[in-house]
Amino acid sequence: MWHLSLISMGEVVQHVAADAYIEVPRKVDRNLAAHAGTSATPSNRVETNTRVVILKHLREAEKDINKVFLVIWRKNMGAIPPGEGEEPRRVGNRQPFGRCEDGVRLST
């Protein structure tokens, strides 16, 4: 069964239920969701304004999720022994991929 979702970037995407990363039931009022429309782009001002309101809710939820993620990440960083995780270790004959900073530098 196909589902339609309004993602935080403002796009409407069609997907199967298994593709959903996170679902927050009843995050917005059912009536509000009904006024957002189902097309890829809003067809009138009501749909546009409704999507803006929904996107504000989604972005607030993202902020809350990111805050929780950072708390969990900080707690888990204490579980890594000092010196571990700074330099990747060789596994067999394979070379390490490099540090995270190298990947960031390459992608910018």
Give pLDDT tens digits for 8-63.
Answer: 777 888 888 888 767 767 778 889 888 988 888 889 999 999 999 999 988 888 89
pLDDT bracket for residue 89 (50, 70, 90): low
Full residue range of the structural domain in which residue 54 is found: 2-79
Radius of gyration of the chain (CA): 20
If one counts the domains in the chain, the total is 1
pLDDT at position 62 is 86
Residue 87, domain member (yes or no): no
Residue 88, domain member (yes or no): no
Residue 40, domain member (yes or no): yes
Residue 63, domain member (yes or no): yes
pTM, 2 dp: 0.58
The DSSP string of 28-80 is S-HHHHHTT-SSSS-SSHHHHHHHHHHHHHHHHHHHHHHHHHHHHHHHHHTTS
| CA 100/CA 106 separation, integer angstroms | 10
Tell me: pLDDT of 99 over 50: no
Residue 98, domain member (yes or no): no
Residue 97, domain member (yes or no): no
Give pLDDT tens digits for 56-70.
Answer: 988 888 899 899 988
Tell me: pLDDT of 108 over 80: no
Cβ–Cβ under 8 Å, residues 28 and 77? no
| CA 106/CA 11 separation, integer angstroms | 28
